Amino acid sequence: DGGITQSPKYLFRKEGQNVTLSCEQNLNHDAMYWYRQDPGQGLRLIYYSQIVNDFQKGDIAEGYSVSREKKESFPLTVTSAQKNPTAFYLCASRDSHNSPLHFGNGTRLTVT
Shortest Å distance, C-beta 65 to other proteins: 18
CA angle 63, 84, 87 (to 5 degrees): 100
Query: For 9, which DSSP code?
Result: S
75 vs 106 by CB, closer to other proteins = 106
Residues contacting 40, CB < 8 A, separation 6+: none
Judge whether 7 and 19 are in contact, CB under 8 Å: no
16 vs 100 by CB, closer to other proteins = 100
11 vs 101 by CB, closer to other proteins = 101
Residues that bind other proteins (CB under 8 A): 31, 33, 35, 40-45, 48, 50, 56, 58-59, 90, 97-106
Of the candidates 110, 96, 107, the residue with the CA atom closest to the CA atom of residue 46: 107
Shortest Å distance, C-beta 41 to other proteins: 6
